[in-house]
Amino acid sequence: MKEAQAGKELPEIDFIDHQKKLCKIYGVDFRKVEEINSMLKPLLQNLDKNDVNKVSYTTILNIRRNVDSWLELWKFSTSKSNLTPKQKSLLELYLYLVLSEGVFSETIQAVAFLLVANHHDIYDVEKREFVKDYEGLNNVSLFYKLQFVERHGFVFISSSFDRDLRNLIAHLRIEVQEDGKMVEITRQGKTGKKVESIEKKTDYLGCICALTLLAIEGSLGTELKRRGLKLRLS
């Protein structure tokens, strides 16, 4: 296990200022973000050295890796002006699915791990036992992790995710027409209600993930500074 002192040092940033800018751009109430900051801070203060390393080298890096991959897809989708309306809508759906399965899932994993590291155990329904470490969380479905973080007050983060929309996309129950319009397909295979553009939902979900990552990195950096260490990743 690498220690928090090793690896590449991250430049110090004013994470509160970055959060305020994101909130202004996406119309998010910063008071809600302040609540998340205040809830995450004590969870990070109580981490032992091994858990600090876990957050630094596993949790944060996993989120960042997923963010980088998603941004490449986003850049591709916005740069291809020659795409047909149908292709643009298909990409829009795929972007939301990747954001949900990658960035958002890892964000919830991070919050769940901080709770577990602070002795709030989550129950693995399939194994019928309580999870007590990061590795065990990998076997718990996103559905149960969402319930877990909600029970501990992180509804603001979990509510940014549209589970029904994710399921419709993942189960191929949205039909995209040639003009780019999207309609829901019922379980009986019939055409259902119209699906509105999900661009705003994608932007909002991505914003909440970014705000949460900033809160974790910022609070962790503050705590490590108090301990005479620096936040370094490799």
Bridge pairing between strands 232-233 and 122-124? unpaired
Residue 139 pLDDT greater than 60, yes or no: yes
Q: For 97-130, write each residue's pLDDT tens digit.
A: 999 998 999 999 999 999 998 988 897 777 778 8
Which residue, 134, 171, 152, 176, is CA-closest to 1?
134
Q: For 146-180, write each residue's pLDDT tens digit.
A: 999 999 999 999 999 999 999 999 999 999 999 99
Q: For 173-189, write each residue's pLDDT tens digit.
A: 999 999 999 999 888 87
Q: pLDDT at position 11, please? A: 47
Directed axis angle between helix 30-45 and helix 199-226, to 10°? 40
> Band of the pLDDT at 47, cuts 50, 70, 90?
confident
Which residue, 143, 166, 133, is CA-closest to 53?
133
Higher pLDDT, 17 or 223: 17
Residue extents of the structural domains in the chain: 15-160+202-225
Higher pLDDT, 73 or 94: 94
Amino acid symbol at 85: P
Q: pLDDT at position 202, please? A: 93
> Band of the pLDDT at 229, cuts 50, 70, 90?
low
**Weakest-pLDDT range from 7-16, 197-206, 212-221:** 7-16
Q: For 2-25, write each residue's pLDDT tens digit.
A: 334 444 444 455 789 989 999 999
* CA distance linking residue 110 with residue 43, whole number of Å: 11
189 Rama sector, left if φ>0, alpha if ψ -120 to 50, beta otherwise: left
Residue 141 pLDDT greater than 80, yes or no: yes
**198 Cα distance to chain centroid:** 17
b/e 45-68 (16+ beta carbons within 10 angstroms → b):
eebeeebbbbbbbbbbebbeebbe
Q: pLDDT at position 2, please? A: 37
Task: Report percent pLDDT > 90 for the chain.
Answer: 43
Exposure on the CB side of residue 41, measured as CA atoms within 13 A: 11
**58 Cα distance to chain centroid:** 14
Q: pLDDT at position 46, please? A: 83
Tell me if 99 sits within 8 A of 70, measured CB to CB. yes
This prediction has a pTM of 0.84
